[in-house]
Amino acid sequence: MNSRSTLKNISEKLNISISTVSRALKNHPDISDLTKRKVKELAELMEYEPNSYAVNLRTNISKVFGLIVPVISNLFYESFISAVEEDARQLGYTLLILQSGDDSITEIENLKLCKQNRVAGIFICIATHAAHTETYRRYIDAGMPLVFFDKVPDIDSCNKVCPADEEAATIAATTIIKYNKKRVLAIFGNPELSITNKRIQAFSKNFASDAPKIPLVIKHADSSAQAKKMVLEYFTTKKADHIFCMSDEILIGVMQATYELGLKIPQDVSILAISNGFIPGLFNPSITYVETSGYKLGKLAMKRMSDHLNGQTF
């Protein structure tokens, strides 16, 4: 059990005081080079590693970030997490990852857990039906560095980073319009999410202004299966020569539907999705997509976090 290696028993073996050992290890100028060397050598030998709990208790400064996400197994979140982890490691931080299961109760439990663990900051993607505005406020007011991402609450003065929803939707819309389609079917996700609304607004606004004559049908689907069913039903009575998919989830359902319908892509119907590119690349031929990268968003979120930690407010 080498975890028995503490400042104290290093100091005893060297017949010096604990404080000297502590300072030697952190290159304090008060300590002679000789002592420093001796201490460091012995520490290495004894595999000394500072007890982070003691350090934290003393300094009250933690080296771990909390990260709350509805589910981990999701293309977008996993790339986000991946990016955040990379940067965190760079800064000497480590990540406490919690999933809320998209449930608002466990979400606040997770928040509590983070607080309990005295994390240095929290990255959070709020649950779908969560509107704990007051709760978030309390954490912010208590000085907890909070960075919302992806799904964000309607709070003014807080850090939020979210995919460039409007931009992506706008690019998608203009691209589709450019191809001069006859009838466009656009499938979006859960209408209760701000991300959905942002995209839907930007998307339809572009159509209204730039191509008011193109018939645009907008539908909502909560899952791949629902998206699939929706397309199948739609095509029994009508036709569309383009389908827009707001997310990977929807794209998957749509692809299955087009296969069952025997539609050729892009001859019979063309498809455009908003995605990070992984799923669209799986199909043959590849589906064109407007990129939103969880990875880049993660990098951005971490930048926000460190800015915040360095005193920036907004």
Partner DNA sequence: TATTTCGCCGGTAACGTTTGCGGTATCCTT
Partner DNA sequence: AAGGATACCGCAAACGTTACCGGCGAAATA
- Contacted by 180, from DNA, its own copies, none: CB < 5 to 8 Å by type: none
* CA dist., res. 273 & res. 276, Å (int): 9
* CA dist., res. 154 & res. 186, Å (int): 26
Options 41, 178, 259, 312; binder of its own copies; rule CB under 8 A: 259
* CA dist., res. 88 & res. 8, Å (int): 31
The dihedral formed by the CA atoms of 101, 121, 297 and 210, expressed in degrees to the nearest 10: 80
Give min distance, CB of 3 to DNA, in A.
8
- Contacted by 169, from DNA, its own copies, none: CB < 5 to 8 Å by type: none
Q: Per-residue x/- marks for DNA, 37-66, CB under 7 A? A: -----------xxxx--xx-xxxx------
- Contacted by 7, from its own copies, DNA, none: CB < 5 to 8 Å by type: DNA
Options 1, 13, 27, 34; binder of DNA; rule CB under 7 A: 34
- Contacted by 19, from DNA, its own copies, none: CB < 5 to 8 Å by type: DNA
Q: Check binding of 25 to its own copies (CB under 8 A).
A: no
Q: Cis ω on the peptide bond leading into residue 145 (within 30° of 0)?
A: no
CB–CB of 127/100 below 8 Å?
A: yes
Options 19, 133, 201, 312; binder of DNA; rule CB under 7 A: 19
Assign 143 to helix, strand or coil: coil
Q: What crossing angle do the helices spanning 248-261 and 224-237 adopt, rounded to 10°? A: 40
Q: Which is nearer to DNA, 25 or 75 (CB)?
A: 25
Options 12, 27, 32, 86; binder of DNA; rule CB under 7 A: 32
DSSP for residue 312: -
Q: Check binding of 284 to its own copies (CB under 8 A).
A: yes
Select from 146, 153, 90 the least CA-distant residue to 127: 153
Query: How many amino acids of this chain bind its own copies (CB under 8 A)?
Result: 50
- Contacted by 156, from its own copies, DNA, none: CB < 5 to 8 Å by type: none
**Amino acid identity, position 95:** L
- Contacted by 201, from DNA, its own copies, none: CB < 5 to 8 Å by type: none
Q: Which is nearer to its own copies, 51 or 312 (CB)?
A: 51
How far is the CA of 6 from the CAs of 39, 44, 50, in angstroms? 12, 12, 7
Q: Check binding of 27 to DNA (CB under 7 A).
A: no
Residue 303, CB-side half-sphere exposure with 13 Å CA sphere: 7
| b (16+ CB within 10 A) / e for 15-26 | ebeeebbbbbbe
Between vectors from CA 188 to CA 182 and to CA 193, what angle results, nearest 5°? 150
- Contacted by 74, from DNA, its own copies, none: CB < 5 to 8 Å by type: its own copies
Options 30, 134, 141, 154; binder of DNA; rule CB under 7 A: 30
- Contacted by 212, from DNA, its own copies, none: CB < 5 to 8 Å by type: none
Q: What crossing angle do the helices spanning 33-45 and 18-25 adopt, rounded to 10°? A: 90
Query: Cα-atom radius of gyration of the chain, to the nearest Å?
Result: 26
Which positions touch its own copies (CB under 8 A)?
1-3, 49-54, 56-57, 62, 64, 71-75, 78-79, 81-82, 85-86, 89, 94-99, 106, 112-113, 115-118, 138, 142-143, 252, 255-256, 259, 279, 282-285
Binding site for DNA (CB under 7 A): 4, 6-8, 15-20, 22-23, 25-26, 29-35, 48-51, 54-55, 57-60
